[in-house]
Amino acid sequence: MRWILQCLVLASVMLLTSCSGSDSVRIAMHHWLGYQTLPVAVNMGWIHPDLLTITTTPSATESMQLMREGKVDAAALTLDEAIQLSSEGVNVAVIMAFDISSGADVVLSRYDSATLKQMSHITIGLEKNALGSLMLAKLIEQSGLDQDKFIISNIPADQHLDFWQQQQPDMLITYEPMAATLIQQGAIRFMDTREIADTVFDVLVVNRSFAETHRDALAAIIRGQFIAVSNLMTQPDDTIYRLAQEAGMESSEVRQTLRGLILPGAGYNARLMQGEPSHLQATATALSRLLYRQGMIGNELHGPALVMPDILLHVYHSMPEQ
């Protein structure tokens, strides 16, 4: 594995020499753990700092607005947020998956299933976005609970703790490390994204026109990201420490959150993006239908495929065999 990392670093440096200063990529991201491999890659020298300018935002809402205004070239967002931008007419493409939720997004409850079924109504807090809608739909489908029972409150993620403690809802859709904190206080882990595998993605979203003219720069960034992911496997303690610094978390919180995330490297990303349609494109199409039915976007995906695989696949095929 170490010789592979050395080859990747050398290839990234060689690719960087072909990129001019005008190829610098402006990326917006907020402090979600799944995105922090990118600044780690910059700090470790796997992505040249002149190649990438990271704008840290308070939340995805601000990152999306910067994309709308053309103030950044790319953003780290969830797949549903990429779909929302596309539905608004912003010319975006998904070129890489940062992470896949595999237990990091959680439905918490104060009661077991039998008790919930006997209740006349169920209060539940969630962020009103595609993930919240998807998790609620899966909850209803898998639990057999009556949809009409639910009284829904739209609660931003940074208010989940206060909402749970002060408003005393019956259920809450949240994510790690908040879920672990609330479980320690007595909440029941009712279901999580392990039950809807390969569905909930964080992705790198790029202005499509920019991507067409800055392929080398984006390829160098993707390659550096893959080195960081590989380093997490080969030197986990050091990488977790660096991720904690970037995310403003304790190392123990990083470890807890990583248990519910898959950070796909080059091979996994390639499998997600190969085929017609690719798994990632098929997921985006299905998610856009859900968003449309929920009234969260004005129209389903149309025009060019949201997923633009060729830059990542070029990186993958240029890598040494693993």
The model's pLDDT over 46-56, given as tens digits with 9 standing for 90+, comes to 999 999 999 99
Residues 141 and 238 in one domain: no
Q: Structural domain of residue 111, as residue ranges?
A: 105-196
The helices-and-strands tally (H runs, E runs) of the chain is 15, 11
Q: Looking at the predicted structure, is the pLDDT value of residue 91 above 90?
A: yes
Q: Number of structural domains, the chain? A: 2
Residue 306's domain is classified under what CATH number?
A: 3.40.190.10
Look at residues 173, 196, 219 and tell me which one is the last residue of a structural domain.
196
Report residue 60 CA to chain centroid gap. 11
309 prior amide bond cis, ω within 30: no
Quote the pLDDT of residue 59.
Answer: 87
Look at residues 139, 162, 196 and tell me which one is the last residue of a structural domain.
196
Residues 262 and 289 in one domain: yes
Q: Looking at the predicted structure, is the pLDDT value of residue 120 above 80?
A: yes
Distance CA 287, CA 293 (A): 10
Distance CA 9, CA 47 (A): 9
Look at residues 171, 196, 221 and tell me which one is the last residue of a structural domain.
196
Residues 112 and 96 in one domain: no
Residues 79 and 136 in one domain: no
**Residue in the block written with tokens 């949809």:** 147
Q: Looking at the predicted structure, is the pLDDT value of residue 134 above 70?
A: yes
Residues 160 and 262 in one domain: no
Quote the pLDDT of residue 20.
Answer: 46
- Long-range interactions of 3-7: CB distance < 8 A, separation 24+: 3/320, 4/230, 4/319, 4/320, 4/322, 5/227, 5/230, 5/231, 5/234, 7/319, 7/320
Ranking 15-29, 89-103, 172-186, 302-316 by mean pLDDT, the lowest is 15-29
Q: How confident is the model at residue 300 (pLDDT cuts 50, 70, 90)?
A: confident
Q: Looking at the predicted structure, is the pLDDT value of residue 321 above 70?
A: no
Q: How confident is the model at residue 128 (pLDDT cuts 50, 70, 90)?
A: confident
Residues 156 and 276 in one domain: no
Residues 206 and 312 in one domain: yes
Helix (H/G/I), strand (E/B), else coil: 172:
strand
Q: How confident is the model at residue 131 (pLDDT cuts 50, 70, 90)?
A: confident
- List beta partners, residue 204: 76, 96
Q: Looking at the predicted structure, is the pLDDT value of residue 174 above 70?
A: yes
Quote the pLDDT of residue 51.
Answer: 96
Task: Give 19 or 217, the one with higher predicted confidence.
Answer: 217
SS3 sequence, 91-158? CEEEEEEEEEECCCEEEEECCCHHHHHHCCCEEEEECCCHHHHHHHHHHHHHHCCCHHHEEEEECCHH
- Mean pLDDT (the chain) is 91
Residues 253 and 160 in one domain: no
Q: Looking at the predicted structure, is the pLDDT value of residue 17 above 50?
A: no
Residues 250 and 167 in one domain: no
Burial of 26 (C-beta count, 10 Å sphere; 0-12/13-18/19+): middle
Quote the pLDDT of residue 22.
Answer: 58
Q: How confident is the model at residue 16 (pLDDT cuts 50, 70, 90)?
A: very low
Q: Are the C-beta atoms of residues 25 and 214 closer than 8 Å to each other?
A: yes
Task: Quote the percentage of the chain above a pLDDT of 90.
Answer: 77
Quote the pLDDT of residue 54.
Answer: 97
Residues 238 and 182 in one domain: no
pLDDT in tens, 212-263: 999 999 999 999 999 999 999 999 999 999 999 999 999 999 999 999 999 9
Q: What one-character DSSP code corresponds to residue 4?
A: H
Residue type, 253: E
Angle between helices 130-143 and 279-293 (to 10 degrees): 90
Residues 255 and 312 in one domain: yes
Q: Looking at the predicted structure, is the pLDDT value of residue 149 above 80?
A: yes
169 prior amide bond cis, ω within 30: no
Residues 96 and 209 in one domain: yes
Quote the pLDDT of residue 290.
Answer: 83
